[in-house]
Amino acid sequence: MGRRTKARECAFQILYQWQITGEPMSVVLDGFWKVRSGTPAAKAMAERLSLGAQARAVELDGQIAEAATHWRIERIAPVDRTILRLGAYELAEERQTPAAVVIDEAVELAKRFGEADSPAFVNGVLDAIRKRVRGEPETTA
């Protein structure tokens, strides 16, 4: 697993733990790094992504709800919601990363942690968000 992939996985786990426990992010981060390891660069990326997505969760949820037609945000499975927040944040704020890479990595997280239909759902929602935040046409990745 590459450093950036590992960092995204850690960011997903941090963000998911924050969402499920409701604990302050500082508490989540302290506990997380006590049981996980990573290079300084991977830890920095994981924290940047998870803290950024957490800080903008309400805004990101609005984008997700708009892109996930026929789904209320609270009805989206917590794992999928976390992956979508992370992907939406990265699409908006990490513009040096190609959108296709962001979406592919999110789909891989959905395959690993989500339900059977999670990868297709995550792909479709993030593709719609990509069009809005990056001005790129939708694709079927």
Q: What is the CATH code of the structural domain delimited by 3-134?
A: 1.10.940.10
58 pLDDT exceeds 60?
A: yes
Looking at every residue in the chain, the average pLDDT score rounds to: 92
Token couple for 34? 């006590």
pLDDT tens digit string along 81-102?
999 999 999 999 999 999 999 9
134 pLDDT exceeds 90?
A: no
Compare 135 and 64 and report the one with higher pLDDT. Answer: 64
pLDDT tens digit string along 5-36?
999 999 999 999 999 999 999 999 999 999 99
